[in-house]
Amino acid sequence: MVKKRVEYGLLLLAATVFHIFLVDYLSFFVLAFFLALPAVSLLMTVLSVRGLRAELEIKSASLQKSVAIQKREALVLSLKVKNNTFLACRVRVKLAIRNELLQEEQTEILFITAGPSGQTVEQVLSSRYCGKLDCRISELRIYDYLGLVSFRKKTALGESLVVFVLPSVYPLTSLAGGSKIQQDTESDEFSPSKAGDDPGEIFAIREYRNGDPLTRIHWKLSGRHDHLMVKDFGLPMSEAVLLLLDLNGRPKQLDGLLDSLYSLSCFLLEHQILHEIEGYDGLQGGFARTRIAGQDDLNTALSALLSPDRLQRQPLSLTNCGSGCGYARYSQVIYLCSGITQDSMALLGERMSGSRVRILLVEEPDKLEKMAPSLAAVPGVNLTVIDPEHMGESLSSLTL
């Protein structure tokens, strides 16, 4: 804009000098034209701004205000700018994308000519870290036709779009079967999707198939239907695992913590093990414990952990672990963190003495060397280091 003003100033100076040295109607009209031009440009711009509209949409999902993608997956955002008047105007759009997990924001500046037919600009969005991305039009600035002045339009910026970048799910090959966890669990709840061997609960009644045990034949219903009907028993769902999360650290650590949490939770759900996740909920302003019985519960818990009101540094979960918090009913507590001290390990073992405690420490090996001398073994507490640079290898060798 400074360049345009300098160019206009030089033209106006030339017109003034021309009129001084050549006093006639032609030089007068030339000078008057250059003097009136900014006012006419500004008036036309003001008239065109009244019909200006800008909207941000997710391509192929324009009716949705939120969508979930994987890390490094490309998502196309469509920025639509239209002027409902017969005039066109030059617009600078500032697109803000904020990662609520990292508390970081990046902006993209786009220049668009908005006319009656409208114009659409596509912006490719991708993230190397998981988290909740808030995408919005943070500023709409209109320039006059000469580029001499500009002003902001405060209305019609549209609603923000939410993009969930999901954590990665790594296979926990060493935990296949989950038998050690299930041996310690008892529950009166049964799976709504899978049959089991508990005769105390009927999962479903179906027609007889070759190989079905004769003891499961439902004789009364078989007599009514003139063919054999078989009872499928229920599958008890265990609930003895708590995933305790401290979501603090550098970007790689935060990403590794959520990858570890998500992989563990998906593994437990796959093996029909009810569990709970406890972490700091920024929306409620305190610690919350969410019962995970299905994928919807896991997504809800993840959304709360990534809430926009999350503190830059959350309070440690260990400060919330008291004797009255009901931890005694868990046979296994998995504490996920990015830093730990000898005193914290001892405190965790003391307050959860009735449970098997596993600490998953997400830290790079070269940075762990400074911490290692102070991490002596604590009775009842097992420590496993997860390398955020090699998540797959670290989690594949995990044992509980």
294-350 per-position pLDDT tens digit: 888 888 888 877 765 555 455 566 666 654 566 666 778 888 988 887 777 777 777
Answer with the residue of higher pLDDT: 359 or 201: 359
Contact assessment for residue 279 and residue 242, using Cβ atoms and an 8 Å cutoff: no
Crossing angle (nearest 10°) for helices 25-49 and 2-21: 150
Query: What's the rounded mean pLDDT across residues 146-174?
Result: 78
Answer with the residue of higher pLDDT: 342 or 143: 143
295-313 core/surface letters (b: 16 or more CB in 10 A; e: else): eebbeebbebbbeeebeee
Beta-strand relationship, 161-166 and 66-70: parallel
Question: CA distances (Å), 173 to each of 45, 107, 168, 331, 349, in order?
Answer: 64, 41, 15, 22, 27
Per-residue pLDDT, 184: 47
SS3 151: strand
Pick from 136-150, 203-217, 270-284 the range whose average pLDDT is largest.
136-150
pLDDT (tens digit, 9 = 90+) per residue, 176-226? Answer: 544 455 444 454 545 555 565 556 666 677 887 887 777 777 777 777 777
- What average pLDDT does the structure give for the chain? 78
Contact assessment for residue 292 and residue 269, using Cβ atoms and an 8 Å cutoff: yes
Answer with the residue of higher pLDDT: 316 or 269: 269
Q: What band does 237 get if pLDDT is binned at 50, 70 and 90?
A: very low
Query: What's the rounded mean pLDDT across residues 226-254?
Result: 77
Contact assessment for residue 358 and residue 398, using Cβ atoms and an 8 Å cutoff: no
Per-residue pLDDT, 179: 45
On the question of pLDDT at 168 being above 50, the answer is yes
261-275 core/surface letters (b: 16 or more CB in 10 A; e: else): bbbbbbbbbebbbbb
Whole-angstrom distance, CA of residue 134 vs CA of residue 167:
17
Q: Regarding the domain delimited by 173-186+237-396, which CATH topology (the fold level of the hierarchy) does it fall under?
A: Rossmann fold (3.40.50)
What secondary structure letter does DSSP report for 315?
A: P
What secondary structure letter does DSSP report for 185?
A: -
Pick from 35-44, 129-138, 206-215 the range whose average pLDDT is largest.
129-138
Query: What's the rounded mean pLDDT across residues 259-281?
Result: 86
Residue type present at position 208: Y
SS3 377: coil
Question: CA distances (Å), 114 to each of 89, 111, 142, 151, 368, in order?
Answer: 5, 10, 10, 15, 54
On the question of pLDDT at 261 being above 90, the answer is yes
Per-residue pLDDT, 264: 92
Radius of gyration, CA atoms only, the chain: 32
Whole-angstrom distance, CA of residue 65 vs CA of residue 380:
47
51-166: CATH number: 2.60.40.3880
Residue of 331, 321, 348, 318 lying closest to 400 (CA atoms): 331
Per-residue pLDDT, 185: 47
Beta-strand relationship, 238-245 and 332-337: parallel
Per-residue pLDDT, 321: 63
Answer with the residue of higher pLDDT: 293 or 324: 293
Of 90-104, 260-274, 293-307, the range with the lowest mean pLDDT is: 293-307
**Cut 0.75: pTM above it:** no
Q: What band does 232 get if pLDDT is binned at 50, 70 and 90?
A: confident
DSSP E strands, 197-268: 198-207, 229-236, 238-245
Query: What's the rounded mean pLDDT across residues 5-30?
Result: 83
Per-residue pLDDT, 183: 44
Return the structure tokens found at 146.
């000469």
Contact assessment for residue 317 and residue 279, using Cβ atoms and an 8 Å cutoff: yes
